[in-house]
Amino acid sequence: MTMADIQTVAVIGSGAMGAHIGMVCALAGCRVTLVDLNADALGGARTSLEQFTQRSVEKSKLTARERASAFDRLAFSTELAPAVAEADLVIEAVIEKLDVKRALFADLDELCPPHTILASNSSSLMPSQLADATARPDRVVNLHFFNPALIMRCVEVVRGPATSDQTQAAVVAFVHRIGKEPVVLKKEIPGFVANRILNAVRDEAISLLEDGVADIADIDRACRTALGYPMGPFELMDLTGLDIGYYVKRERFELTGDPRDQPQRSLAELVESGRLGRKTGHGWYRYDEHGSKEELDNTTEHDTVKTDNMAEEI
Ligand SMILES: NC(=O)c1ccc[n+]([C@@H]2O[C@H](COP(=O)([O-])OP(=O)(O)OC[C@H]3O[C@@H](n4cnc5c(N)ncnc54)[C@H](O)[C@@H]3O)[C@@H](O)[C@H]2O)c1
């Protein structure tokens, strides 16, 4: 399988990630079928892609003709078997549950032609956790896109111990072809590269706070003004949802047993009291009804940054 061979793609799961991944591939000229068990999810994906790409046309990032031909190449279906019957590459983007993904990979192995590469977009599960659900472990790999996939350029390519060099070369070439930047991991590791670095920054920020070294707003300010980050780690946690990071850490701790992987006390207290970030109006910071950040007791008075503005920068 070479890059030229990947013409037909099936994306399984039409949620936040799958919808964008399907459109990225269709814009690059592939024939794509976006599959979901849930017809409403497929309808929602179509609507959100129509709106997103319409805005891209209005901003002159895409022509109306390119948009129309991409939609001509993109089919929506609740039927798995016909969608994957001629697929050269399947990208799985369903719910982050190992048993669901393993059952799906076993089905895909039965339904796909022998040459098909099976890729997972999982943020944390490694290829070796899925490969042995199939009879083609050499053609199982992770292609980890970032959210929102139509904008973010990075795709992490993660090979398991059984993934062949040929599979890796084919998907790296494919990632280039769809206009993304592949980041190739030489071996699998939970969390991969970008999220491990992000998590390390978050852990250090929380540790500086819990050790009384600096306040939340000052730690965020250091990251923005000294390191050039578009937003500080506490602001970013509030944006993505504190519960996400909390559950990722809990799962990591279950896997490793390493006390450093346990959710920190201050993070656990916030999540357990329902302070999940911007979506609940209160996380590390408090937000008013317009989404503007209000002062917390432990923030400095001169902090007037609004995270809603920064959210547009990333
Ligand atoms: N959300 C993110 O920021 C992000 C970023 C990178 C990677 N990921 C990974 O991408 C995957 C999907 O995440 P998401 O946020 O798009 O999830 P989501 O919940 O938005 O969408 C999942 C979709 O999969 C569908 N689905 C579930 N089981 C299915 C099955 N067996 N067959 C077909 N469809 C099925 C659901 O109906 C739903 O529409 C996860 O593995 C996640 O770890 C997420």
The predicted-structure confidence for 187-212, as pLDDT tens digits, reads as follows 999 889 999 999 899 999 999 999 99
Residue 16 near ligand 1, beta carbon < 6 Å: yes
- So what's the pLDDT on residue 309? 35
Question: 194-313 in CATH: which number?
Answer: 1.10.1040.50
Is residue 56's pLDDT more than 80?
yes
Is residue 302's pLDDT more than 80?
no
Q: Which of 120, 123, 188, 282 is catalytic?
A: 123
Q: Which of 14, 144, 188, 282 is catalytic?
A: 144
Residue 41 near ligand 1, beta carbon < 6 Å: yes
Token code pair at residue 277: 């970030």
Q: Per residue in 264-288, pLDDT tens?
A: 999 999 999 999 999 999 999 999 9
Tell me which residue has its CA closest to atom 29 in ligand 1.
Answer: 94
Distance 78 CA to ligand 1 centre (A): 15
Tell me which residue has its CA closest to atom 39 in ligand 1.
Answer: 15
Distance 16 CA to ligand 1 centre (A): 7
Residue 35 near ligand 1, beta carbon < 6 Å: yes
Average pLDDT over residues 216-238: 97
Residue of 36, 49, 76, 105 to mutate, ligand 1, most atoms within 8 A of C-beta: 36
Asked whether the domain spanning 194-313 has the same topology as the one spanning 3-185, the reply is: no
Backbone CA torsion sign across 100, 151, 55, 61 = negative
- So what's the pLDDT on residue 5? 80
Residue 147 near ligand 1, beta carbon < 6 Å: yes
Average pLDDT over residues 98-109: 97
Residue 154 near ligand 1, beta carbon < 6 Å: no
Residue of 21, 94, 244 to mutate, ligand 1, most atoms within 8 A of C-beta: 94
pTM of the model: 0.86
Is residue 218's pLDDT more than 90?
yes
Confidence of residue 308 (pLDDT cuts 50, 70, 90): very low
Find tokens 């061979």 and name the residue: 5
Residue 144 is a catalytic residue:
yes
Q: Per residue in 146-169, pLDDT tens?
A: 989 999 999 999 999 999 999 999
Distance 143 CA to ligand 1 centre (A): 14
Q: Where are the domains of the chain?
A: 3-185, 194-313
Residue 219 near ligand 1, beta carbon < 6 Å: no
Confidence of residue 4 (pLDDT cuts 50, 70, 90): low
Name the CATH superfamily housing domain 3-185.
NAD(P)-binding Rossmann-like Domain (3.40.50.720)
Residue 18 near ligand 1, beta carbon < 6 Å: yes
- So what's the pLDDT on residue 244? 82
Of the chain, the percentage scoring pLDDT greater than 70 comes to: 92
Residue 115 is a catalytic residue:
no
Residue 123 near ligand 1, beta carbon < 6 Å: yes
Residue 93 near ligand 1, beta carbon < 6 Å: yes
- So what's the pLDDT on residue 306? 38
Residue 128 is a catalytic residue:
no
Residue 195 is a catalytic residue:
yes
